[in-house]
């Protein structure tokens, strides 16, 4: 699940990201925390 979310976030166009930031800033914070968690887990592994 996390890998798929990471790919969706990675492949998302900048326009979509900017729209989400304007419309739902809370969701972007959640996604950034998920990304940080993935990066931390990969560094540990």
Residue-wise pLDDT tens digits, 2-15 = 666 656 655 667 66
pLDDT at 7: 62
pLDDT at 6: 58
Stronger pLDDT, 13 or 37, i.e. the higher one = 37
pLDDT at 4: 67
Domain boundaries, the chain: 2-44
Distance in angstroms (rounded) separating the CA atoms of residues 36 and 16: 20
Residue 36: both structure tokens together: 């940080």
Its pTM stands at 0.38
pLDDT at 21: 67
pLDDT mean across residues, the chain: 72
Q: What are the residue ranges of helices labelled H in 1-45?
A: 2-11, 14-23, 25-44
């Amino acid at each position: 699940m996390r890998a798929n979310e990471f790919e969706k976030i990675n492949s998302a166009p900048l326009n979509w990201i900017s729209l989400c930031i304007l419309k739902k800033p809370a969701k972007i914070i959640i996604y950034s925390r998920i990304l940080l968690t993935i990066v931390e887990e990969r560094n540990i592994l």
